[in-house]
Amino acid sequence: MRSDVSLINSIIEFCGDIEEMVDELDSDRDAFMNSRAHQQACSFCILQIGENAGCLSQELKGRYPEIEWNEIRGMRNLIAHGYHGIDLEAVWYAAIEDIQILKSTCERILNELERS
């Protein structure tokens, strides 16, 4: 099983990938809604973030309750099992509103883990 440090690093990398895609689109929602490639890439990154979050130790998740780990996992499930289509508005909202916060919080967690 991957360590918490490795999983947090992976979450940070996927958050960075999403930030790059949003920057490519100049944070333009309409451009996102018209770009299947960006929709799929952001969805994949969110799915991977949820996978990694689900593998984190209960101890780590308990130490950082300010992160809504269950919601992250739930978003992963919506994307992975979105049999009738993915809610692109939710993906866009996550990319614009949530990813930057998650990334900066995970960077803080990583620093704390590396110091201990």
**pLDDT score, position 69:** 96
Is residue 80 in a domain? yes
Give the domain extent around 72.
4-111
Is residue 95 in a domain? yes
Instruction: Decide if 49 contacts 14 (C-beta within 8 A).
Output: yes
The domain tally of the chain equals 1
Q: What is the pLDDT of residues 64-82, one digit of tens each?
A: 999 999 999 999 998 998 7
Residue segments in the chain with a per-residue pLDDT below the cut of 50: none
Model confidence, pTM: 0.93
Is residue 30 in a domain? yes
Q: How far is residue 109 from each of residues 16, 98, 114, measured CA to CA in Å?
A: 16, 16, 9
Q: How far is residue 108 from each of residues 14, 67, 100, 101, 113, measured CA to CA in Å?
A: 16, 12, 12, 11, 9
Is residue 85 in a domain? yes
Is residue 116 in a domain? no
